[in-house]
Structure 1
Amino acid sequence: MPHPLRQRIFLTGASAGLGAGMARAFAARGRDLVLVARRLDRLTELREELLARHPGRRVVVGELDVDDPDAVAEVVPRLAGELGGVDRFIANAGIGESASIGTGHAARNRAVLATNVLGTHATCEAAMELFRAQGAGHLVVISSVASVRGMAGSRSAYGASKAALNSLAESIRADVLGTPIAVTTVLPGFIATDINTGRRGPFTVDLATGVAALTAAVEREPVRAYVPEWPWRPVSALLRVLPLPVLRRLT
């Protein structure tokens, strides 16, 4: 069952897109926030916006590049301490501009894999240290429907990186099964954000719709959530069984 209230939420990749959208949505629900990203200027503007709209909320912001594991290990507990602790950690930071393998874009693909896999791993390490120490918490790992099958073109390394996160989240869940620490993997479909530029397909929803579905899913604290649930849960089931030639034409 979902925890009745996760009051203090730590959110990575919060300066734009789904991260900023979730920050606004959770602040509107009365939550206190720690927001981190590489672009501190955007976070500062977002903090001012949230405090103006929701007086009384606590919003801590900090600059963090998840590609720097030493910085992650130092910044996460420090900022969590400024809020007095964290009840939910959303590992959202990531990049998405990959390309077909062997087409001259190795550096771009390596960057996607490094940030999405190793960067998320670093934040999960820091979050789980906090949760293990306090004996409770909710870890949310943002994956993608692109992780369900290997996909061509711009979703190649990106999908592979998100598939790795599915396994990472499940491994963490297995470790803490039966404890007050919950782990949720969220697989968004096509949502109109900057990270999805050039990779939007059928059933793409606008950012507001996507954020509303994502926030609602996180609040339920399921093991796995597809966002929006319709059509992405049945579509994901279909993607798993389609022959590769058919899948290639669809994606």
Structure 2
Amino acid sequence: MTDNDRNDARPLAGRVALVTGGTMGIGRGISTVLREHGATVAVTGVTEKECQKAREDGFTAYQLDVRDPDSCRKVVGQVADQCGGLDILASNAGIYPQADIATITTEQMEQIFDINVFGTIRMVQAASDLLAASGQGRVVVTSSITGNITGYPGWSHYGATKAAQMGFVRSAAIELAAKNITVNAVLPGNILTPGLKDMGQQYLDRMAQSVPLGFLGEPEDIGQAVAFLASPGARYITGQQIIVDGGQILPESPEALDDIR
């Protein structure tokens, strides 16, 4: 870190962040906010087309399938070489296909666990030595209120992966504390990603009605929480979760919101 970096008011100035799944949706919001806070940001995407668009917008981008351990290690090494180390891992890559319990296949279950859970673990494995060398390493996992706090029909397998991520976060936080690496998670509620917008305005309006604040969050709202957990101000926070949902989980029933509308 240079003297200019120390004088920069942005809390992440001089730090290098890698955001998996950072080319779109919540990941793009995280990447944008981390960069606004001063970090040098590298992102990964599943397709080269996604990566090229991110490069055009000023990000360093790598094509990555987190199901491949060798590719995870390779990309982490490339980020360190190109950007000068690694201080922050935002493990955000994930999928959320809908499937009923009666019809979900073994292949579907294996795929979602391989990406959402094992992919997170693989990235932490690949990055831990570099994060330790940073002296102030940060891991922030994008989990969800689904599976940890709430449930929703059709997403039982997704919810299971998100709960599994939190099990990993808590134990990993203890194990990596000796290397001065903190491990935390952000749990989004309904966020206005392209996938959610595709559900239609009527669906969005209904979802917003279930949120006490009365509106759905933006990907940058998740980015702000990630930026805090990645910052020096969060150095004494580890193994924890921040729920970012506009109060969605708070009402005991829909009627609890009637008096504030």
Shorter-chain TM-score range = 0.7 to 0.9
Q: Given the two structures, how large is their TM-score scaled by the length of structure 2?
A: 0.75
Aligned to 1:5: 12
Aligned to 2:241: 224
Measured in 1, the distance between the counterparts of 2:39 and 2:25 equals 19
Measured in 2, the distance between the counterparts of 1:117 and 1:4 equals 29
User: CA separation of 1:87/1:205 partners in 2, compared to 1, >3 Å: closer, same or farther?
Assistant: farther
Identity of aligned residues (%): 28
State the shift of 1:220 in Å: 2.3
User: CA separation of 1:100/1:173 partners in 2, compared to 1, >3 Å: closer, same or farther?
Assistant: same
What code does the residue aligned with 2:247 have? P
Aligned to 1:91: 91
What code does the residue aligned with 2:85 have? G
Aligned to 1:181: 181
Instruction: Count matched residues.
Output: 224
Other structure's SS at 2:154 match:
helix
State the shift of 1:140 in Å: 0.4
After TM superposition, the structure 1 = structure 2 runs for residues 125-204 of structure 1, keeping only pairs within 5 Å, are 125-149=125-149, 151-177=151-177, 180-196=180-196, 201=207, 202-203=210-211
Measured in 2, the distance between the counterparts of 1:15 and 1:219 equals 17
2:56 paired with 1:39: no
What code does the residue aligned with 1:94 have? G
User: CA separation of 1:81/1:29 partners in 2, compared to 1, >3 Å: closer, same or farther?
Assistant: same
Other structure's SS at 1:153 match:
coil
Measured in 2, the distance between the counterparts of 1:105 and 1:98 equals 12
State the shift of 1:122 in Å: 0.7
After TM superposition, the structure 1 = structure 2 runs for residues 114-129 of structure 1, keeping only pairs within 5 Å, are 114-129=114-129
Q: Given the two structures, how large is their TM-score scaled by the length of structure 1?
A: 0.78
What stretches of structure 1 of length at least 5 have no aligned partner?
A: 52-58, 240-251
> Which structure dedicates a bigger proportion of its chain to helix?
1
Q: Pick from 241, 245, 250: which aligns with 1:234?
A: 250
What code does the residue aligned with 1:234 have? L
User: CA separation of 1:25/1:152 partners in 2, compared to 1, >3 Å: closer, same or farther?
Assistant: closer
Other structure's SS at 2:102 match:
coil
State the shift of 1:75 in Å: 1.7
2:29 paired with 1:21: yes
State the shift of 1:182 in Å: 1.7
Q: Pick from 24, 30, 42: which aligns with 2:38?
A: 30
What code does the residue aligned with 1:187 have? L
Contact 2:191–2:218 at 8 Å: present in 1 too? yes
What stretches of structure 2 of length at least 5 have no aligned partner?
A: 1-9, 230-236, 254-261
State the shift of 1:96 in Å: 0.3
Contact 1:97–1:195 at 8 Å: present in 2 too? no
Residues 173-207 of structure 1, C-alpha deviations (whole Å, 9 max, x = no match): 1113365322221100011224556697433855x
User: CA separation of 1:143/1:152 partners in 2, compared to 1, >3 Å: closer, same or farther?
Assistant: same
